[in-house]
Amino acid sequence: MLVAVAGMVGTGKTTLTQALAAYFGLAVALESVDEENPWLPLFYGEAEGMRRYALPLQLHFLVTRMESLRRMRAEEGDWLLDRTWYEDAEVFARGLFEQGYLSPLEWVLYRRLFTELSHLPAARPPRLLIYLSAPLEVVVERIRGRGRAAEREVGTAYWEALHERYTRWIAGFRLCPVLTLDVRHYDLLSDPTAITHIARRVEDKLGRRLDTAGVQYNLLV
């Protein structure tokens, strides 16, 4: 079984994914960022980085996400996935195209590749999507206070556009059940015990109790 965690930058996806994995003893696939992603600092850090590196960054995310899915489906047990391939295409890549950072030809190429990969058995929808929701001002405040160095330098207009696309995307998402969590109602960094309440909500939405006797380990791709 696969449970995916989705939501905008700054909502705490990785923190929640790791906390749920530790609570239930589940395997977890984390998003490919930091040292294992050479494109992120170029994309955020250079003056023309968003325009120059938009396509390779999105291809990196797409490939590593599909690698994670293939490995997870080959393993037995229950998994947690930090961010989905749906967001890659419908929020980030589409947004870069709409903002002119991906050319029409690049966007068509990306969509063709995404569509073909989406037909693979490994890319079937998750059992549950946990969506982390927050008002824009909360997200920006968290990014400024806790985000990666490159993210903290990005202007508010970029986060406004991203927030709007996330709101539009989740409103039309119908591929699997969705559990929406308002991040204003918990903060795992200041109150780790909040994971107990979240875990109960996850199990209620799944309609089953998760085995907490599994082995926890990370799959970094």
Active site residues: 82
Would you say 4 and 130 are in contact if contact means Cβ atoms under 8 Å apart?
yes
Residues 6+ apart with CB under 8 A from 31: 13, 14, 61, 64, 82, 83
Residue whose C-alpha is closest to residue 77's, from 131, 128, 28: 28
Calpha distance 164→141 (Å, rounded): 17
Alpha-carbon distance values, 84 to 66, 81, 87, 139, 203 (Å): 10, 7, 6, 19, 20
